[in-house]
Structures are given as C-alpha cells and as structure tokens.
Amino acid sequence: MAEPLLSIDGLTKTFHVAKSASGNTKLKALDGISLTVGRGETLGLVGESGCGKSTLARTLMMLETPDEGTVSFEGTNPFGLRGKELLGWRRRVQMVFQDPFASLNARMSAGDIIAEPWATHRSLYPTSKERDERVRELLEMVGLRASDGRKSPQEFSGGQRQRIGIARALALNPDAIILDEPVSALDLSVQAQVLNLLNELQRELGVSYIFISHDLTVVRHVADRVAVMYLGRIIETGETEEVFDHPRHPYTAALMSASPKLDVTGAKRDRIVLKGELPSPLDPPSGCRFRTRCWKAQDICAQVAPEPQVLTAPDGRRHSAECHFPLDSLKGLAGAAVTASAP
C-alpha cells in the first residue's frame, strides 16, 4: 500500500437532536471510524443512506468537528491548525458534489466558478493573466473547450457540469479529493465518460480520491481499497477485490448480493434479501449493530459489540471485518442460510 496521506483513528461524531420517539437525543453519526488513504490511492466508501458516509466526508473537509479521535494529514492534525496554516491545509483537500445541477452557481460563468477558489487562495495564481490561463488549462484537462469558460452552467449537460465541478476541485491543486456520489446523477453513457476522466486525472496528477458511492459496480471499478459502513461504523475494509470476492461480514455479503448484476448468460442467482430496514441511528441495537437483520446473529451479538479482526484468506490475503461469526471465505456464503453464486 502507498504511504498514507491521510489517516483517521477512532473518529466519533455525535449530533444532538430534538427528542426522538425513544427519548434519545444523541445521534452517533460516526462511532470510532479508523481508516487510511494512501497517496494516489482511491478509497471507496460504501453503505446505505444514513450510515454516516456524508458525515465522514464533511468531517474530513473540516465542516464538522469530531468529538473524539484523531485526523492526521501527513502527520499534522488539521483541527489544530489556525490562520494561514489552516488555509494552506484547506487547499489540499477538495470536494466534488453529487448533484451537478445544484452545486454550480447559475449566475456565474463556468470560468468564474472554476476561478472562485483563488479568491480565497490568492497567492496561488496572483495575476489575472495567470488565472485566465489556468482556467483554460483546467477546462481542457477535464475535456471541455477552453472557450467554454464564458458559458453559464445551464448551457452544459449534466456530464459537462460535473466536469466543471471536477475542474473547480482541481483548481487548488489538491492532494485529496472527496467525491460524494460523483456519477450517480448522471446517465450511464455519460457516467462512463466521467469515470474515465477521473481515472486519467488520478494517473496524471497522483491525487488521492475518497470515492463515496452506493453503486457497487462503480466502486469496484474505481477503488483500490473499500470500506463498508453500517450505522456509523466501518464493518469491513480491505482491498477491493478481496472484499468483493470474499466478503466476511454478513452485511457486506447481503449488500453485494442485493445489488442487481448485469448478467446476460441468464444464470440462476439466489439472493440474500435482508429482512427489515436500517435501524434508526438514534436508537441503534445493542452489541453488534447489524444483528437485528443478520441471519447468523446469536445471543453474544446482542451483548458484545464485535471488534475489528484481521482475517486471512488461504491465499494469504488479509482484510478486516468486525463480526463474531465472519463468513468463511473459502465457501463464500455456504455457511449462510442461503447461497449466492455471483455471475
């Protein structure tokens, strides 16, 4: 694995909300999150709505302050920085948003949108000549025409708008970009164009991505490593192929199994269909958080929260999952109540 650019340890974030049905006012959106992102690496973050993906992204952007835990960006804790140092740090982590129709100001030209970060980070391109030149460069880098800078966002299609959003994120030459569902609002044929662009940019610039997505097919295509979240915890993490091919946590297996596959051979595929829905994060189950929907749950799951454990596959590859009864990677899902044969 590449030398870590970003490492997070035991990150916890609690929100205080108006009284819920259960009388609980504390919503633990992140509960002891630990992960690392290497330089030039893509970390895929998957999970269902409400699992804490976006809170994690916002915390990494320093839009939320964690209650506990540490964030280390090349050895420095951004939450300890002030003034110019903080500004310098903010330059290095940027974000691309999900909805390209809502995330671009309709009253600004594409060029002004891309140049706007420099209004804060003045020292980067001090003269207007440099800025104009850089805007044209960025537009071409993301596959638009240099002359497109004069147009306003509504003159572009969804895919082109997302390219503008990417150019804006690149404007400050960041080390890491958080991509929050960057292609889920795009049509399939356009989605492939944007994924190709992201791949090329990473190869050229060596930028790290934190790629948040609910689309497992897309994550499998882009991510070097993947972290699966459930109710504020990372329940399984490891190299993408390893996690996808040998899921150890029942939730990961169910998630993989539930996501539709494009298989034209017509082979029969049994699926795990989970009962019930995500429990409210205001009132998470005791012990293991997945136990209310898990087919392997036993008494211990309600009493003791499982710790992350590193599991080794016969081929020597290892990845970590937190489960009292991890699935046997050899047999795939044979230990479960149902079996899944991936196409």
Partner 1 sequence: MRTAAEQAPPNSRPRAGTPATQSQAHDVVLQVKDLAVDIRTHRGTIRAVNSVAFEARAGETLALLGESGCGKSMTAKALAGIMDPVCDLADGQIVLNGTDLAALSPKERLKFAGPELGIVFQDALTALNPVYTVGTQLGEAFRIHRGLNAKQARLEAIDLMKRVGIPEPESRVNSYPHQFSGGMRQRILIAMAVALNPRLLIADEPTTALDVTVQAQIMQLLRTLREEGQMAVILITHDLAVVAEEADSVAVMYAGNVVESGPVAEVFADPRHPYTKGLLESVPVHLERGAHLKSIPGSPPELHDIPAGCVYQSRCPLVQDICRAERPALRPAGRRRTADPAGTNVLEADDGGMGTTPADRTISAEGRPVRTAACHFSEEITNG
Interface positions with partner 1 (CB under 8 A): 48-49, 157, 159-160, 187-193, 195-196, 199, 214, 216-218, 220-224, 240-241, 254-255, 257-266, 268-278, 293-295, 297, 336-338
Cα separations (Å) of 18 from 23, 27, 49, 231?
Answer: 9, 10, 20, 19
The structure tokens listed for 48 are 């269902």
Nearer to partner 1, 217 or 312 (CB): 217
Contact present, 134 and 125 (Cβ < 8 Å): yes
Cα–Cα distance for residue pair 292/250, rounded to 1 Å: 12
Q: C-beta of 33: minimal distance to partner 1 in Å?
A: 20
Q: C-beta of 228: minimal distance to partner 1 in Å?
A: 12
Going by C-beta distance under 8 Å and a sequence separation of 6 or more, which residues neighbour residue 17?
25, 26, 27, 282
The structure tokens listed for 251 are 């939730």
Q: Beta 208-212 vs 225-230: how paired, if at all?
A: unpaired
Cα–Cα distance for residue pair 52/44, rounded to 1 Å: 14
SS3 136: helix
Residue 179, number of CB atoms within 10 A of its CB? 27
Q: C-beta of 333: minimal distance to partner 1 in Å?
A: 10
Q: C-beta of 51: minimal distance to partner 1 in Å?
A: 9
CA dihedral of residues 18, 21, 26, 30 (deg, nearest 10): -120
> Which residues face 93 on adjacent strands?
176
Q: C-beta of 270: minimal distance to partner 1 in Å?
A: 5
Nearer to partner 1, 87 or 197 (CB): 197
Nearer to partner 1, 11 or 272 (CB): 272
Nearer to partner 1, 34 or 152 (CB): 152
Nearer to partner 1, 22 or 265 (CB): 265
Q: C-beta of 85: minimal distance to partner 1 in Å?
A: 34
SS3 186: coil
Cα–Cα distance for residue pair 208/210, rounded to 1 Å: 7
Nearer to partner 1, 119 or 264 (CB): 264
Q: C-beta of 42: minimal distance to partner 1 in Å?
A: 8
Nearer to partner 1, 118 or 230 (CB): 230
Residue 173, number of CB atoms within 10 A of its CB? 13
Q: C-beta of 212: minimal distance to partner 1 in Å?
A: 14
Cα–Cα distance for residue pair 251/343, rounded to 1 Å: 19
Nearer to partner 1, 173 or 259 (CB): 259
